[in-house]
Amino acid sequence: MNDRILFIGPQGCGKSTQAVLLAEYLRIPKISTGDIFREMSQVKDILAAGQLVDDETTAEIVKKRLQESDCQNGFILDGYPRSIAQKELFDPRFSCVIYLKVPDTEVTRRMMARGREDDTLESIKTRLSLYYEQTQPLLDYYKNQGILIEVDGTGSVEAIQNEIKKSI
CATH of the domain at 105: 3.40.50.300
pLDDT for position 155: 93
Q: Is pTM, for the whole model, over 0.85?
A: yes
Domain span at residue 35 reads: 3-167
Q: Mean pLDDT: which of 39-53, 99-113, 118-132 is highest?
A: 99-113
Question: Span 98-113, mean pLDDT?
Answer: 95
- Between CA 4 and CA 151 the distance in angstroms is 17
Alpha helix ranges (H) inside 41-120: 41-48, 55-66, 84-89, 104-114
- Backbone conformation region of residue 136, classed left if phi is above 0, alpha if psi is from -120 to 50, else beta: alpha
46 — pLDDT class (breaks 50, 70, 90): confident
Residue from 106, 99, 150, 97 nearest 128 by CA? 106
Does residue 98 contact residue 5 with C-beta atoms inside 8 Å? yes
- Between CA 48 and CA 1 the distance in angstroms is 39
Higher pLDDT, 166 or 2: 166
The domain total for the chain is 1
- Between CA 88 and CA 91 the distance in angstroms is 6
Residue 70 DSSP class: G
